[in-house]
């Protein structure tokens, strides 16, 4: 099962983690490949980006791979231009791909999480 992790993180903590990762790379330490991920600085940003309509669109495409944007707009009974804009944003995020001119969701699962405090 292919999944993507979506986190709401404190930008300062994210910067600290990125600097630590860069130091490990510079030291030549082996890196394990992590699951693909997206990071948002706040729930407000997360919800403004992954709106209810975009999430419904994403789920629809995941269940019906191979649709065109026009077909998708018709099936969702939404305006073509709005669906087109939503698809473009989801493509930018890597949540939708276009393969041979048709829409495809490369993930089976999205894991959205927020760490409240670091484990001791």
How confident is the prediction for the chain on average, in pLDDT?
A: 88
Query: What residues does each domain of the chain span?
Result: 3-111
Q: Look at residue 7 in the predicted model and tell me its pLDDT.
A: 87
pTM attached to this predicted model: 0.79
The residue written with tokens 């209810």 in the block is: 52
Topology of domain 3-111, per CATH? Arc Repressor Mutant, subunit A (1.10.10)
Q: How many residues does the chain have?
A: 120
Cα–Cα distance, 84 to 70 (Å, whole number): 8
Identify whether the C-beta of residue 66 lies closer than 8 Å to the C-beta of residue 102: yes
High-pLDDT (> 70) share of the chain, % = 92
Q: Look at residue 34 in the predicted model and tell me its pLDDT.
A: 66
Q: List pLDDT tens digits, range 53-112.
A: 999 999 999 999 899 999 999 999 999 999 999 999 999 999 999 999 999 999 999 998
Q: Is the pLDDT of residue 119 over 90?
A: no
Residue 8: how many other CB atoms lie within 10 Å: 17
């Amino acid at each position: 099962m292919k999944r993507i992790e979506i986190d709401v993180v404190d930008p300062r903590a994210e910067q600290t983690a990125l600097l630590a990762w860069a130091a490990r790379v510079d030291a030549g330490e082996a890196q394990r490949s992590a699951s693909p991920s997206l990071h948002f600085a706040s729930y407000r940003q997360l919800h403004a980006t992954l709106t209810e309509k975009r999430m419904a669109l994403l789920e629809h495409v995941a269940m019906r791979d191979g649709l065109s944007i026009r077909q998708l707009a018709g099936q969702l009974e939404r305006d073509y231009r709005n669906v087109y804009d939503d698809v473009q944003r989801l493509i930018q995020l890597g949540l939708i791909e276009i393969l041979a001119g048709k829409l495809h969701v490369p993930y089976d699962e999205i894991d959205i999480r927020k760490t409240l405090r670091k484990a001791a």
